[in-house]
A and B are shown apart, each in its own frame.
Chain A
């Protein structure tokens, strides 16, 4: 017999014994038993404390150093974000204008449809200098 089958059989025997005992228990004894169980649960709730553990000194220092290292790396290890950023739509396809400065010229920007329906950015500047 393998282990699983043996465990199942043992569990079945225990269940039968427990049911027999429960049937043979007088109602007063049963009530008393439940009262004791409920009281024990209440006691346990009252005695419950926040589970704080004191880390050994070395571990505490390690955690502090790791946190500091992570903060430093996050601040200096990553590329700096773009200096000026307007609303950016992060569509997975196409292209879009995030920022435009026409200087002293006039211009506009818009999108045209690409071959798969994606939006493609167009910046149009009015070339008054040469006209």
Chain B
């Protein structure tokens, strides 16, 4: 039969577990929370031409220094579902790999993202970029030469629709 002391100990243990669970729950929830990523791979050229209509919602690409490009073609628009803490990769038109990872979802809802560009069995081309971005606010990695133009990669993150 349990005496009073044992009952008290059980209560204390229960309380401790409850406190621990309340602290740990948000961290576990965050690890499970997926993040949607949209990657825009754009080939920009200085020769006059068309600006892809799909890029109209990115007025940043019309501002300096991007306005030096007179034509822009959207080569691909892969969508990824990112798990915080895990790498995801897409292959770029030049054969390199763009690796992206949501490192953390900050308390204010912004995303801390790690990006690198490399090619298997070669030294990293762009070893590391860490960006903090708000939801649906893009960031760009540009400058890779490709087919007489320059690759402009835009990355936009959001929480998946429930």
Task: Flag if B60 contacts A95 (CB, 8 Å).
Answer: no
Cα-based distance from A20 to B20 in the complex (angstroms): 64
Partner of A97, one of B66, B130, B137: B130
Task: Flag if B132 contacts A66 (CB, 8 Å).
Answer: no
Task: Flag if A94 contacts B137 (CB, 8 Å).
Answer: yes
Decide yes or no whether B123 CB sits under 8 A from chain A. Answer: yes
Partner of A82, one of B27, B64, B112, B127: B112
Decide yes or no whether A103 CB sits under 8 A from chain B. Answer: yes
Partner of A130, one of B27, B59, B145: B145
Cα-based distance from A106 to B132 in the complex (angstroms): 22
Majority secondary structure of chain A interface residues (helix, strand, loop or mixed): mixed
Decide yes or no whether B131 CB sits under 8 A from chain A. Answer: yes
Task: Flag if A129 contacts B125 (CB, 8 Å).
Answer: yes
Known contacts A62-B15, A124-B143; A82 and B30 CB within 8 A of each other: no
Count class of interface residues, chain A: 35 or more
Decide yes or no whether A90 CB sits under 8 A from chain B. Answer: yes
Task: Flag if A113 contacts B63 (CB, 8 Å).
Answer: yes
Majority secondary structure of chain B interface residues (helix, strand, loop or mixed): mixed
Residues of B in contact (CB 8 Å), total 49
Q: Report the minimal beta-carbon distance from A108 to chain B, rounded to whole angstroms.
A: 9
Decide yes or no whether B141 CB sits under 8 A from chain A. Answer: yes
- The residues of B that contact A129 with a CB separation of less than 8 Å are 125
Cα-based distance from A47 to B59 in the complex (angstroms): 75
Task: Flag if A88 contacts B124 (CB, 8 Å).
Answer: no
Task: Flag if A95 contacts B137 (CB, 8 Å).
Answer: yes
Task: Flag if A82 contacts B137 (CB, 8 Å).
Answer: no
Cα-based distance from A112 to B129 in the complex (angstroms): 17
Task: Flag if A114 contacts B59 (CB, 8 Å).
Answer: yes
Task: Flag if B12 contacts A65 (CB, 8 Å).
Answer: yes
Decide yes or no whether B19 CB sits under 8 A from chain A. Answer: yes
Q: Of all chain B residues, which has the CB nearest A78?
A: B27
Which A89-131 residues have C-beta < 8 A from chain B? 90, 92-105, 107, 109, 112-115, 118, 120-127, 129-131
- 13 extra interface residue pairs, beta carbon distance < 8 Å, beyond A69-B19, A94-B133, A130-B144: A66-B16, A74-B23, A90-B106, A99-B129, A100-B129, A101-B128, A103-B125, A120-B138, A122-B141, A123-B131, A123-B142, A125-B125, A130-B145
Please list the residues of chain B having a beta carbon within 8 angstroms of any beta carbon in chain A.
Answer: 8, 12, 15-16, 19-20, 23-24, 27, 30-31, 57, 59-60, 63-66, 85, 94, 103-104, 106, 108, 110, 112, 123-134, 137-146, 150
12 A-B pairs in the complex with CB atoms less than 8 angstroms apart = A62-B15, A73-B20, A74-B23, A79-B27, A95-B132, A102-B127, A112-B60, A114-B60, A122-B141, A123-B131, A125-B141, A125-B144
